[in-house]
């Protein structure tokens, strides 16, 4: 009963602060401050400063701004245009046609971005006009973009996996490799949905593409070489054990700058814009992480995480039942918070439960990411929905309906992960680890 009153107090203070427009990071610090004042006699200011410094000075966290900067650099190149030219000849012959360029393009860009929003914007700014011009169904264009862009959260380098790894002190490289196979399986499920829809939908009547010889397709593939080289540098350096995630991020930034320079899109203006964009995003995430670290410490003094973990253990839920409870919990939470905030806000309570149930924390990181992906396309706060609304001028309801089949596919993916956990655990357990 005492735990319940503490939870209600914390939630009341949190939603009061968020409702008045306070930034999420500062709101988390505010809740933690109230908790420290009520449940401990320690000097709150000293504890807060120490916690914020220790959470912000992690060497592992250095990978975060570097990968964000790499994505910002690539966003300002001709990468989306080149990807469409390189992919469209190969996608045209598949059931569903060029809509697959949305999914494959997002999968490829996710491997050099780490951000769902950057993936969506980069791929969408080229594919939406091209697919509309060819008379593809608008709901399918919008829905596949909304869903496939979430792959930026799973396929390495994933910002959400970095934040999860830092929060629970787990290897970032292992989490990255855990995300590869589930990310590719989810992309394949999206493509299967497009293929089936193209066969059964009566509104599917796109303009046919002009025939292209195999040699012409291969010639067009040259546009994909730069981005695949960059993926090999970033992921390959970690896979071969030559670099940690942070060092691979540094290679990615250098590779992004080289790619932008060779395309002629690197100028002092784009350089400074990308740097400032990365700084703003990194500062926002760092503030959320600092607030979450302070809140975790505050909650630790109340004994709430351990108490809730013991409560769940006393209910004697099976692993599957616990995962179903967490699935529903994160879907509801994702309607109101972005993915990174959801992860850092809940890990102090959820991690002990997961450990108590004997669930692999690397596997659970991928489970969390899939569920957090759903939050990107669920109203009222689905971030991808807002990005698409700005790009297409459609009403939010139309975009949410278009993305709903992708949401159901992600729910299905959760059950695929539970049934075949090796999808997430095989690679991390069978790779050569980088130094550090």
pLDDT tens, position by position, 350-382: 888 888 888 999 999 999 999 888 877 877 667
* pTM of this structure: 0.79
Query: What's the mean pLDDT when you consider all of the chain?
Result: 82
- Quote the tokens at residue 92: 């045209």
Please write the tens of the pLDDT for every residue from 180-218.
999 999 999 999 999 999 888 877 878 777 777 878 888
What is the longest distance spanned by two Cα atoms in the chain?
76
Question: Could you list the residue range(s) of the whole structural domain that residue 146 is in?
Answer: 51-203+210-429
Q: How many domains does the chain have?
A: 1
Q: Is residue 14 part of a domain?
A: no
Please write the tens of the pLDDT for every residue from 48-81.
888 878 777 777 677 778 888 887 887 777 776 7
How far is the C-alpha of 38 from the C-alpha of 311, rounded, in Å? 23
Q: Is residue 40 part of a domain?
A: no
Q: Is residue 317 part of a domain?
A: yes
Q: Is residue 9 part of a domain?
A: no
Decide: 220 and 83 in contact? Cβ < 8 Å: no
How far is the C-alpha of 98 from the C-alpha of 31, rounded, in Å? 48
Q: Is residue 12 part of a domain?
A: no
Q: Is residue 121 part of a domain?
A: yes
Q: Is residue 24 part of a domain?
A: no
- Quote the tokens at residue 398: 């139309």
Q: Is residue 17 part of a domain?
A: no
How far is the C-alpha of 278 from the C-alpha of 280, rounded, in Å? 6
């Amino acid at each position: 009963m005492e735990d319940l009153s503490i939870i209600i107090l914390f939630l009341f203070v949190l939603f009061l602060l968020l409702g008045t427009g306070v930034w999420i990071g500062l709101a988390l610090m505010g809740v933690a401050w109230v908790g420290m004042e009520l449940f401990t006699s320690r000097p709150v200011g000293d504890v807060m400063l120490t916690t914020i410094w220790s959470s912000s000075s992690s060497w592992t966290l250095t990978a975060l701004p570097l990968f964000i900067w790499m994505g910002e650099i690539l966003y300002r190149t001709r990468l989306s245009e080149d990807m469409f030219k390189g992919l469209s000849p190969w996608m045209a012959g598949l059931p569903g046609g060029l809509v697959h360029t949305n999914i494959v393009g997002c999968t490829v860009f996710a491997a050099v971005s780490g951000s769902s929003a950057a993936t969506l914007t980069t791929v969408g700014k080229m594919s939406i006009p091209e697919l509309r011009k060819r008379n593809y169904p608008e709901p399918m264009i919008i829905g596949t973009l909304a869903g496939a862009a979430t792959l930026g959260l799973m396929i390495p380098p994933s910002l959400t996996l970095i934040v999860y790894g830092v929060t629970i002190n787990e290897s970032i490289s292992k989490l990255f490799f855990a995300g590869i196979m589930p990310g590719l399986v989810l992309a394949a499920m999206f493509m299967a949905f497009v293929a089936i829809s193209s066969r059964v939908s009566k509104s599917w009547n796109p303009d046919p593409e002009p025939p292209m010889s195999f040699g012409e397709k291969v010639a067009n593939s040259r546009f994909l070489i730069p981005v695949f080289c960059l993926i090999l540098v970033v992921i390959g350096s970690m896979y071969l054990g030559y670099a940690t995630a942070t060092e691979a991020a540094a290679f990615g930034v250098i590779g992004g700058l080289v790619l932008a320079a060779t395309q002629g899109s690197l100028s002092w203006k784009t350089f400074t814009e990308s740097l400032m964009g990365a700084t703003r995003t990194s500062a926002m995430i760092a503030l959320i992480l600092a607030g979450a670290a302070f809140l975790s410490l505050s909650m630790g003094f109340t004994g709430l995480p351990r108490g809730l973990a013991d409560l769940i253990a006393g209910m004697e839920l099976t692993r599957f039942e616990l995962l179903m409870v967490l699935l529903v919990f994160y879907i509801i939470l994702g309607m109101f918070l972005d993915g990174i905030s959801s992860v850092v806000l809940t890990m102090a309570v959820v991690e002990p439960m997961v450990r108590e149930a004997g669930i692999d924390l690397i596997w659970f990181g991928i489970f969390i990411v899939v569920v957090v992906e759903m939050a990107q396309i669920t109203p009222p706060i689905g971030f991808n929905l807002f990005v698409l609304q700005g790009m297409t001028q459609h009403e939010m309801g139309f975009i949410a309906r278009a993305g709903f089949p992708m949401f159901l596919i992600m729910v299905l993916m959760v059950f695929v992960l539970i049934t075949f956990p090796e999808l997430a655990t095989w690679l991390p357990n069978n790779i050569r680890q980088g130094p550090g």
